[in-house]
Amino acid sequence: MNRVIDRRSLIAGAAALALPIPASARSANSLAALGAAKGIRFGSTVGKDNFADPGYRALNAAQCALVVPENEMKWSITRPDAQHFDFRAADRIVDWAGANGLGVRGHTLLWHSERWMPQWVAEHDYGPNPRAEAERLLTDHVATVAGRYADRIDSFDVVNEAIDSETGALRDTALSRHIGAFETIDIAFRTARAAAPKAQLVYNDYMGWRADEGVHRDAVLRLLEQMRKRGTPVDALGIQSHLGSKFSDTPTGLGSLDEPAFRRFLDQVTGMGLGLLVTEMDVHDNPLPGAIRPRDAQVAAHAKAYLDLMLSYPQTKTVMCWGLSDRYSWLSGMRLRPDGMAKRPCPFDADFHPKPFRDAIAAAFAAAPDRRS
């Protein structure tokens, strides 16, 4: 029987973190308010390091309508072994969000990639009936996590990154080797629906509008088509929207784009009756010139063009950034800029001051069709 580490041991610390931000702090000019005026929910990620910073918590409370835990709901945090769950980190974020009037997205019930699953999943003894044991582990996990937050989370990334972007094949994991790749995805969605029947269930992946992402886009379409054909309860596609490229191959320095192909992709997705979400937006400025003012301007222009495209679809009702401030971007420590300068991939700088990227989001919301009806 699984043992859950609950919130009782964190009450004192959580109480301090849960002190609400006054409603007046979320002004009419906040990104949350500007998005809401068009029926769009704006939010960002919070996580272990940045959540400890009261200034960053305040920035999120002032600018966002919802937040998403960066890692705190993933198997690596919530499932230390096959017998135990640990929700302390996730509960702390969810409790704080509730105290501040923020919604929460759940990310992710299954990261369908061997690399990002805990090592114990691969080493687990699956016994004489490995398929049944793999299904038990999967359904137990999804039902426990989704069920715990069913009343407080209205949208879950059920499965994340199930497709190899280079080959278009479904990834292979310890679970899928026993269950089957598609069957693993299908079971995760069906279990999530049973545990959180009112929640939006999302397949989340990183295909985008670059010309070199056609294989990935086509594979995602095939997966979604199969899910619809089989009756898998998927409601929407989450498009991560990590924009830019690690190599400069155009005058913009942000990758060669194929907007017509991306629109055809979005047309096919929405034609299946699925919603769209921008789930993890940032702009990787690694190849751009070092001077801050022109670099910020290029990032903002790129972000505005992308959001204009995404928001031209009324099915896009959620826009999430993967970090509000450059101080805590996940990109800061990877593929460093050749000039050694700090990256600037987020809407607010390292001192929490708004940047042109923030203004680009606001302008895109202002230009977007109203979807409140």
In angstroms, the CA 129 to CA 126 distance is: 7
Which DSSP category does 22 fall into? P
Q: Is the dihedral of CA 47, 99, 95, 19 positive or negative?
A: positive
Residue with tokens 């699956």: 126
Give the burial string for 185-218 (b: 16+ CB within 10 Å, else e): bbbbbbbbbebbeebbbbbbbbbbbbeebebbbb
Give the tokens for residue 230.
Answer: 């089989």
Query: Residue 307 in contact with residue 248, Cβ under 8 Å?
Result: no
Catalytic choice (161, 183, 213, 225) = 161
Catalytic annotation present for 161: yes
Catalytic choice (72, 133, 135, 280) = 280
Catalytic annotation present for 259: no
In angstroms, the CA 65 to CA 103 distance is: 6
Determine the 3-state secondary structure of 295 from DSSP. helix
Q: Provide the annotated active-site residues.
A: 161, 280
